[in-house]
Structure 1
Amino acid sequence: MISSAPVRKQRIILCVCTGLILLTAIVSMGIGYSSLSFDRLLPVLFGHGTFKEDFVLFSVRLPRILITLLAGMALALSGSILQSVTRNDLADPGIIGINSGAGVAVAVFFLFFPVSAGSFIYALPLVAFIGALLTAALIYLFSYSRTKGLDPVRLVLVGVGFSLALSGVMIVIISSADRAKVDFIAKWIAGNIWGTDWPFIWALLPWLILLVPFTLYKSQRLNLLSLSEVSAIGVGLNLERERIVLILTAVAASASAVSVTGGIAFIGLMAPHIAKSLVGPRNQMFIPVAVLLGGWLLLIADTVGRNLVDPDGIPAGIMVSLIGVPYFAYLLLKK
């Protein structure tokens, strides 16, 4: 049973995070290559804008803001689960190779499977999930020992190795592809938010609607998995089954995000750490905060990146990496 003081603190932090998201979204709606004055935002939102204003807000800015927010939330959810399951603070779907597996699957699907534009959007998260799942299964297999169980340090090392190997596979795949398709894959690798249309939101949203409540339902089991294996088994937890189910959840969250945003790392690393420092290590406390923080971090990275250099800006994946790499090095030295 959690006392009322931490719960009250969590609610305040959730309100602050929601406020930051709304503030960043308002700024993101108002600035860009085609400016939209802030005093016109409310009239346009309520249907009193010109054709140009409606197009800029509803066809360009708003879908990008929502897809970035949802993708950041999914990546933070995935990182939170992986850190608890593996008992490793450095676990992140981008760092340990899961995102790379999804990327290779997306590249193969995009380059070699002719599909219509409508079905492509909704099939993409599923294809990314299959690629990420196969990668996660291989990483788990190479990290698991019959005598010691899952070795957290070995998992990160194996994951980094798979990430590098899959990057090489990606280069081989795109070396024989059409120039136009290679440009798309290159932008995907850099973490350029490319799925900026309403159908991509409807393709991603159901995954989050299912996975976030499911993870919160499993939060008590995640707390037990964060302890030693002996403690988890001692309270009657089916260790391997719970691990597999939760890793599948993490893989699904990560794959659904990167299928429409590209290869973005470090959101799943930073958001859970910041959330734990704010509300403590209990999963039912920090996961909701981490989810909101992940959405805000990616949203602010994309907002700054796309307005930093005209006209295309800097990909959000690169902006996140500028912060994430030093943070990862700091955690590596600390741990």
Structure 2
Amino acid sequence: MIQQHLIRKQRITLLVLTIILLVTAVLSLGLGYSTLGFGRIVPVLMGQGDFKEEFVLYSIRMPRLLITFLAGMALALSGAVLQSITRNDLADPGIIGINSGAGVAIAIFFLFIPVEPGSFAFLMPFVAFLGAFITAILIYLFSRDPRTGLQPVRLVLVGIGFSMALSGVMIVLISSAEREKVDFIAQWLAGSIWGTDWPFILALLPWLIVLIPFVLYKANRLNILGLGESAAIGLGLNIGKERAVLLLAAVALAAAAVSVTGSIAFIGLMAPHLAKALVGPRHQLFLPVAILLGGWLLLAADTIGRNLLEPSGIPAGVMAALIGAPYFVYLLMKK
């Protein structure tokens, strides 16, 4: 039973975050290389803008805003699940190599498999999921001790090792590729938001519609897994089954996100920690907060990055790393 004052605190936090998110969204729509003043956003939304204003808002700014926010939500929830099922506060799909596995699959698909342009956006999440899932299984197997179970510290070390190895594979793949395709892979590696069009939103949205409610439904199971293996078994939980299902959900969320945004790390690390600091460690309380925080963090990183250097800007993945890397070192020293 969750105490009422904690529920009230969560609701106030969600309200404040929603207001901050709306302010950031307005800034994201109004700022950029192509001029669209803040005073013109509402008139254009009401159908009172000219062709240039409507093109900038509906074809450039709004799809980018939505894809960034949705991807940030997915990465934050993926990180929260990984941290819970591994009992490792340093787990993040970008740090432990899951994103790199998705990247190698995307690179192979993009470089060597011909596909119709219309179906490209919808196939990318499935391809990324396949690569991320194989990588996650290998990391899990190498991190697990037959006698003592999953080793949290070994998980991070093995994941970092896989991430470095897969980065080497990526370099080998693109070393002999065409210049145009190399440019795309380079943008993906830097975390540049490239899927900035409505079909990519339609490709990502179904994954979130299914997986976010599913993980929230499993919140109490995540609470039990956080108690440790002995306590979970004592409470009658099938640890192997629950971990496998939740790992699958976390990998799918991360893969779907990075398939349209590029390789972005640290969002899944920071958002769960900040959410726990705000509302406590109960999953029913902090998961919704982490989801909103993840969306806001990536949206803020992208908004700042693309306006620092015009016209190309700084990739969102680089901005997230500039914030997240020191935080990762702080957590590493603290733990």
Residue 232 of structure 2: aligned partner: 232
- 1:1-335 aligned at under 5 Å gives the runs 1-335=1-335
Instruction: Give me the identity figure in percent.
Output: 70
- Give 3-state SS (helix, strand or coil) of 2:33's partner: coil
The amino acid across from 1:171 in the alignment is I
Distance 1:180 1:36 in 2: 31
The amino acid across from 1:106 in the alignment is I
Distance 1:55 1:17 in 2: 29
The amino acid across from 1:284 in the alignment is Q
Distance 2:76 2:119 in 1: 27
Over residues 24-50 of structure 1, what are the superposed CA-to-partner deviations in whole Å (9 max), with x where a residue is unaligned? 010111110011111111110111110
Structure 1: stretches of 5+ with no match in the other structure: none
Over residues 147-188 of structure 1, what are the superposed CA-to-partner deviations in whole Å (9 max), with x where a residue is unaligned? 101111111110000000000000000001000000000000
Q: For residue 111 of structure 1, report the CA deviation from its aligned partner.
A: 0.4
Q: For residue 18 of structure 1, report the CA deviation from its aligned partner.
A: 1.0
Distance 1:155 1:282 in 2: 23
Distance 2:211 2:225 in 1: 18
TM-score under structure 2 normalisation? 0.99
Distance 1:201 1:207 in 2: 10
Distance 1:126 1:17 in 2: 31
Q: For residue 145 of structure 1, report the CA deviation from its aligned partner.
A: 1.4
Q: For residue 112 of structure 1, report the CA deviation from its aligned partner.
A: 0.4
The amino acid across from 2:312 in the alignment is D
The amino acid across from 1:196 in the alignment is T
- Give 3-state SS (helix, strand or coil) of 1:2's partner: coil
Distance 1:26 1:216 in 2: 29
The number of residue pairs the alignment matches comes to 335
- Give 3-state SS (helix, strand or coil) of 1:94's partner: coil
Q: For residue 226 of structure 1, report the CA deviation from its aligned partner.
A: 0.7
- Give 3-state SS (helix, strand or coil) of 1:62's partner: helix
The amino acid across from 1:32 in the alignment is G
- Give 3-state SS (helix, strand or coil) of 1:265's partner: coil
The amino acid across from 2:2 in the alignment is I
The amino acid across from 2:298 in the alignment is L
Q: For residue 198 of structure 1, report the CA deviation from its aligned partner.
A: 0.4
Distance 2:204 2:324 in 1: 24
Distance 1:119 1:86 in 2: 35
Distance 1:283 1:146 in 2: 28
Over residues 259-301 of structure 1, what are the superposed CA-to-partner deviations in whole Å (9 max), with x where a residue is unaligned? 0000000000000000000001111110100000000000000
CA RMSD, aligned part only? 0.5
Distance 2:106 2:19 in 1: 34
The amino acid across from 2:186 in the alignment is A
- Give 3-state SS (helix, strand or coil) of 1:227's partner: coil
Distance 1:199 1:20 in 2: 27
- Give 3-state SS (helix, strand or coil) of 1:299's partner: helix
The amino acid across from 1:231 in the alignment is A
Bigger shift: 35-44 or 60-69? 35-44
Distance 2:148 2:31 in 1: 53
- Give 3-state SS (helix, strand or coil) of 2:88's partner: coil
The amino acid across from 1:45 in the alignment is L
Distance 1:46 1:284 in 2: 38
Over residues 104-124 of structure 1, what are the superposed CA-to-partner deviations in whole Å (9 max), with x where a residue is unaligned? 000000000000111110000
Distance 2:46 2:132 in 1: 41
